[in-house]
Every structure is written in C-alpha cells, then in structure tokens.
Amino acid sequence: MKKLYKLQAVTNFLASGLVVNCKVTRVEKVGFNDMEGSIYHVNVKLETIDGYKNKLVTFEINSTYMDDIEEYETIEQYIESLLFSYYVLN
C-alpha cells in the first residue's frame, strides 16, 4: 500500500525551496461523493536539489478545488499549473 499525502503537505514541500522541477505523471478518478465532488489520486514526480532524493508522491484532491479548470485542456495541465504556483524554478 502506497502512502497517500494531502495536497497541503505537497504544497508545503514545494514551497520549501528544495524542488527544482515538478511533473504530474498520472491522475486517477477514484470516487465521488455529494460533499466533495469527484475525488482524484494524483502522482507527482518531484525533482529536488543536489543532496536530496527525488520523490514520487501521491496525493488526493477533489473537484471542489478545481474552480477554473475550464481554462485548461486536461486535468493534468490544471494540476501542474496549480502546483507550479507554489515553487520557483532554481
């Protein structure tokens, strides 16, 4: 069983300054409920600065966080732009 992170934990790591690149590798719809909408598991490859290990993490996000998704062609592009706003490329 793989570890499932919260979106906030991933964005906190991105904001730490240790990440030089971020790539969404997979988005999987895993369910739906009336309160949160569609629930997705997102795999993200995080490339870190020298001295740290690169990471492949999975986090959960739901469609209530996706207000302006219509501007993007795919959900992967939307999530990448969302995550990009939390870090600056070194």
Q: In terms of pTM, does the model score above 0.75? A: yes
Residue 90 has pLDDT above 50, yes or no: no
Long-range CB pairs of 25-34 (<8 Å, 24+ gap) are 25/56, 27/75, 27/76, 27/79
Model confidence at 81, pLDDT cuts 50, 70, 90, reads: confident
4-40 pLDDT, tens per residue? 999 889 988 988 888 888 899 999 999 998 888 889 9
- 28 three-state secondary structure: strand
Residues in the chain: 90
Residue 1 has pLDDT above 80, yes or no: no
